[in-house]
Structures are given as C-alpha cells and as structure tokens.
A and B are shown apart, each in its own frame.
Chain A
Amino acid sequence: MKSWAAWGRILFVLLAWAGVGWSQTAAKSAEAVALFSRHCAVCHGEAGQGESAVIRMAGPSLQAVHNPGLVMLAMETGPSHMPRFETILTVPQMRMIARFVTRRLAVIPLTGESLGRGGNLYRVNCASCHGAVTQGGTLGFAGLNAPALRRKPMALVAGAIRWGPGPMPRFSAAELPARDVASIAEYVRYLRRPSHPGGAALHWNGPVPEGAVAWAMALSLMVFAIWLEKGGRG
C-alpha cells in the first residue's frame, strides 16, 4: 500500500512535468508559428513554399533548408532583397524561427537517393536550361539566361524545384516526388566536384571551346612547320 502511494506520487510528478513541458513547447511552437507568419510568411509563404500573394518578388522556398545556421545567418545578414532582422528580433526568437523552419517546413530531403536516377532526372528536367553540368545557359526567348547552379546553396537549388522562381516552371510533388528531388540534389551536389577523366574540362561548354583549342593546336603546328622550314633554327 505504501509503495503504491509512492509510485503514485512519482507518476503524478512525472505527468505534471510532462504536462508543463508540453504546454511550454506548445506555447513556444505557437509563438514560432506566430513569429514566422508575422515576419517571414509575407515573402516566403505560410508553408515556406516561397510564394506570396502580397509581394511579387517573393521567395525563396524554405522547404529544403535543413541547416538552422543558414536561417540564422540569413536573418542576421539579410542577403539579396531580404531585410535584416537582427534589430527586430531577439536572438532566442530568431533561434525559434530557425528551428521551426528546419523542423517543420523543410519537407524536401537533400540526400540519400540514387545518383544514377538523379542524373537521369536532372538531364530530363533541368539540363535543357541549366546545362549538362549546371553551368547555366541561355533560354533562347525573352533574352533570359538560366543561372549556373555551382555556387548556389543546395537548399536554394532544391527549393527552387517546387518554388519555380522567375520563368522557371514549378514541379509539383505529383510531378517530382520528394525522393526524386533528393536524387536530383544528389546529382547536382556530385556535379560540384565531378570526376572528370580525360584532362582539362574547358569549362564544360561543348564544341565551341573545343573548336577554339583545335584551331590553336592547328596554328601551333603551322608555326612548327615554319620553324622546320627555317632548318630548326631560331
């Protein structure tokens, strides 16, 4: 009987602790949602999808941002068009938003899928604008160029697939499920440091630089012929 009461008391304390903890977390979570929808959703969308009914130059998508440090950095420095939040929000608030973004909104995985599948998907869906090795390319209409992806953060690259900034089409989850996006991310990450057998890669720009190099060698051989005609002197 006595031991039963003791166990009961311990259980009560534990339940109370869990309850308070849960309510605190819920409150924190609610605060994070409120903070996000007040400060961020105007541009990034309520679900972090990167679109907004309010501002035309919205974005980018946050659905592939898995690194809270990246969110903190963006809020502190304000890259590109984004305002700086270091005077508006406290550090714990920013930390709360960062945790909310990376734990709740980031639904697109970036790793753990097949490279071969990613390569296939990349070549079919992305390469026609961004080039075979993410070097970028011209779109051929409206005078627009598709950007190179090499220096863009992976989180932005993967997020852009759903978000579709500018003239880029949007790929819904029905067209490219999350694991396909992750495969593409895997291949794009591979292309940052690809194995390129066969020597210098001529910036991967196809037959145009190759033709220039071939002509340079042909002209060098002509110079060699001139040297030979001089009897190999001077």
Chain B
Amino acid sequence: MIEFLARWFDARLGAAKFTRKVMNHVFPDHWSFMLGEIALYSFVVLVMTGVFLAVFYQGSSVPVIYHGAYRPLRGVRMSAAYHSVLHLSFSIPAGLLFRQMHHWAADIFIAAIFAHLARIYFTAAYRKPRELNWLIGLTMLLLALANGFFGYSLCDDVLSGAGLRVGYAILLSVPVVGPWLAFLVFGGTSPNPATLPRMFVWHIFFIPAALAFLILAHLGIIWRQMHTNYPGAGGGEKLIVGSRFWPVYTMKSLALFFGVFAGIAALGGWVQIDPVWVYGPYNPIGIVPGAQPDWYLGWVEGAMRLFPGVNGHVGRWLIPELFFPGFLFPALVFAFLYCYPFLEQWLCFDFRGHNVLRRPWEMPWATALGCAGLAFVLVLEIAGGDDVIAVAMGSSVIVVRRVLRVLAIVAPLITGWIIHRWCEAMRRKHAHLREALAGADAGYSEAEIAPQPQPR
C-alpha cells in the first residue's frame, strides 16, 4: 500500500528524486549550529499554545465585573480583556498551563535568538554570501521583540498598562513626528480602548505571519547556500563534513524539538510567570515595585534608568530626555547590527565569499568589540531591575544606580581589553602551532568518527 502510494506520487511529481536529494543533504555536526533550532522550536510551541489562547482571549476594553473562580478578585471591575485572561487561567482546563507555556516560550525564543545572533557574530558567519540571512535574522529579532511587547500588553493588567504607557511615552518623545507616531500605534492617547484590539491583530496575525514567512526564507537560504563549517572539522570552503538530513540529522533535530517542548512545558507547569491576578486590572496609579518589562526589553529599560535627566535643545525645540535612551539608543544598536557585515567588508577590504567560519580569536578587535557590547547590555539589563536588586540587597536604589552608571562605562572597556589580550594570546599560540606543523595539515582532527564528505 505504502509502496503503491509512493509510486503514485513519484509518477506525478518526481518525488523520489527530490526526496533522495533532500535526504542526502549534509549538515555539519556542531552544537552551536543548533541554537537557531532552539528558537525555531520555541516558535512552534508559541504558535501551538497561541492558537489555544486566541480562542479564549478577547481584545476588548469594555468594562465588566468579575464573578469567576478567583476569590480575591470577585466583584472587581475590569476590562473584558483582563477578564478573559483570568477566565482562561482559572476556568479553562489547562488554560493556565498554556498561558504560562506561551510566556515562557516567548522568553526562551528570544533568548535562543540572542544566543544564535552572538554565535553568528563571534564566528563571522554573516560574511558573504550570508549577509541576506543576517538581515533577515535581525528583522526576525525585531519582530519578536515587538510581538513580545504586544503579548505582554494584551493581558491588560497593571504591568501591561504600565508597559504600554512607557511605550507611548517613548514614541511621543521622538522629535517632530512623535505625536503622529504614537497616534498611529495606539489609536489615540494612552490608555485608549482602540489600543488592545489593534495590538491583538498585530500580535496574532501580522507579526506571526511575517515571522513564519521570514523563517521559511531564512531556512530556504541556508538550504540553498552551502552551510558554514568550522575550520578543522574535516571540511573546507567547498566541502561539508557532517550528517545526512535523513536519518541522523532529522533524529537529532527531532530530539531537540522534544527537549525544547519538554523544557517549556515543565516551566509552564511548575514555575509561575506573569501572575496577572496579583497585579490586578490596569489602573494608572496601581503601579508596583518589581514592575519591569520582560528580559528582552530590560536593557532598554535599564538605559532609561541610567541615562541622566538631561533634555536636549535644538533651537526652540525640545528633545525630551527619554528620546535618547528609549528610542535613539536601541535604534542605533540595530542600525549598527544591520550595517555590521558591510562595515566589516569595507574596513577589511574583504569581498570574497566565506564558507569556513572564523574562530573568535582570529579577529581580536571584532571579538573584543562584541564582548564589550555584551558587557554593556548586561549592565543595562541589571540596571533594568535595579529596584529589585536594591531591595534584595537591603540597599538603596540610588547607590545601586550610581554603581551601575560607573559600571556601564568601565565594564565594557575592561571586558574589551581582557578579551583582546586573550585573542592575541590565542593567535600567537596558533601561529606557533602552525609553524610547528609547517608543511603538514594545520587543521585539528576533532572528528573521531570518519564523516561522509559531500562534494558540491
């Protein structure tokens, strides 16, 4: 029967040849090539849980009175959106599990994208011919950040409303176009009944669709181009050494999918995330200590906390303080990342294609710059939670903030210097090795099992 079906399709689509080609596609074996897959599978979990949540969620600001299962909120007036979140958390079987899985998956999704981005940067996988995928990947990161923010806002609890208010203020602070920009996104001032429905549409439709399309493009380009490989893994500029798509790679990837699903489900079931019922329905004066954005926007929050309260003036016009850390800084970070491959090509005058990755120490300034950037973002991330840290340490938030202001300048410099020295040392060590192995193959035979070479 199966054979009959296979022949039926083969006769009409030429499926056998195609399948054989797909099954024989070779992927290199290295754990760092699977970071993007963790993100991919988190996205799968996000879509699966998100569809469930979308069935019960109502993106509406109509006021209603709660009479549901959660005793301390009975009789409380709230928006229909917040009501539906409470209802799906407390009265729908497994609703809370799905909601928590969705939120954990979002946090892990962006963490995996971040780690993947760092891997690409430090191994210079963005070089020609992969600039396109670098741009697509960054765009997906931006879309993921936006969708995380929208999802956080949809619950319409105190944290959601506070986050929306901060986002509204940041948009307002943009010179000249600020008010129009804020009106475009929020449909009026904030809070505003038009905001939730349009964010819901963006959150469940436009952005996931764009992400899905870009993921397909991302994977298609990876498939079309030769995969990168590490120096010394047995391959080279024209040769990949690794496992075939079927069966080894498929099984490995499937196992990773189950691992990601299990990890997210375990967190969703055992660890609470965003307990909206303790924050209460949105009320502008109900803001609480410990109210932060999710971690992936914590660095912007930290920048806003550390930046000194200085307004800019251009002629008669005021540029509010918030604009610099809240809008300009993240915009510059992304602009720099978008331009980076082209910047490096131009600086190093290297317009060749590269299929073999660069080990981090081979370009000390690039690695040092990347690590200094990571240190800066880490300090900002910590600053985003400075109030929680101050209370946990029994210290004053003013002292914590002063220390972090100094660290924001010192930590990147020290990190960059140390990493640069480490890279130079590694470079010297490998130069010695190369001399010692002069004439012989300078590669390192890390592969223990004889891999299958695939010429292309």
Contacts and interface: CB of A to CB of B under 8 A. Distances in A.
Contact of A210 (B75, B89, B274, B396): B274
Contacts of B278: 132-133, 194, 204
A124 B298 contact: no
Contacts of A206: 159, 288, 290-292, 388
Given A200-B270, A214-B111, A132 B290 contact: yes
Interface stretch (B255-263, B313-321, B425-433): B255-263
B26 interface: no
A188 to B, nearest CB: 11
A196 B71 CA distance: 12
A117 B272 contact: no
Chain A contact-residue range equals 35 or more
A112 to B, nearest CB: 16
B71 A115 contact: yes
Interface in A110-141: 114-117, 119-120, 123-124, 127-129, 131-133, 135-140
B35 to A, nearest CB: 7
A213 B290 contact: no
Contacts of B270: 199-200
A143 interface: yes
Nearest to A200: B271
Interface residues of B, number: 70
A173 B100 CA distance: 41
Contact of A131 (B264, B290, B398): B290
Given A117-B75, A200-B271, A225 B111 contact: no
Q: Main SS of chain B's interface residues? A: helix
Interface string B203-237: 00000000000000000000000000000000000
B252 to A, nearest CB: 5
Contacts, number: 200
Nearest to B253: A228
Q: Which of A119, A195, A204, A226 has the most CB of B within 10 A?
A: A119
Interface stretch (A47-55, A95-103, A215-223): A215-223
Contact of B286 (A117, A124, A138): A124
Nearest to B103: A210
Contact of A119 (B108, B264, B280): B280
B247 interface: no
B98 to A, nearest CB: 11
A224 interface: yes
A187 to B, nearest CB: 7
Contacts of B117: none
Contacts of B272: 196-202
Interface string A171-215: 000000000000000010010001111111110111111111111
A20 interface: no
Contacts of A211: 107, 294-296, 298, 381
Nearest to A146: B289
Contacts of B4: none
A123 B291 CA distance: 13
Q: Main SS of chain A's interface residues? A: helix
Given A137-B387, A145-B396, A225-B38, A198 B76 contact: no
A144 interface: yes
Q: Which of B71, B108, B115 has the most CB of A within 10 A?
A: B108
Nearest to B29: A229
B107 A224 contact: no
Interface string B22-38: 00000001110011011
B391 A137 contact: yes
Contacts of A220: 263
B285 interface: yes
Given A127-B288, A215-B111, A205 B399 contact: no
Given A210-B274, A215-B111, A129 B72 contact: no
A139 B108 CA distance: 31
Interface of B: 29-31, 34-35, 37-38, 71-76, 89-90, 96, 100, 104, 107-108, 111-112, 115, 158-159, 252, 255-256, 259-260, 263-264, 267, 269-275, 278-280, 283, 285-296, 298, 381, 384-385, 387-388, 390-392, 394, 396-399
Closest 3 CB pairs of A and B: A137-B289, A211-B295, A143-B396
14 contacts: A115-B71, A119-B72, A123-B286, A137-B387, A137-B391, A138-B387, A143-B398, A145-B391, A206-B159, A207-B295, A214-B111, A221-B259, A222-B34, A225-B38
Interface of A: 114-117, 119-120, 123-124, 127-129, 131-133, 135-140, 142-146, 187, 190, 194-202, 204-215, 217-218, 220-222, 224-226, 228-229, 232
Given A137-B289, A207-B159, A210-B294, 14 more contacts: A127-B288, A128-B287, A145-B397, A206-B159, A208-B290, A208-B298, A208-B388, A209-B388, A211-B107, A211-B296, A215-B295, A217-B104, A225-B38, A229-B29
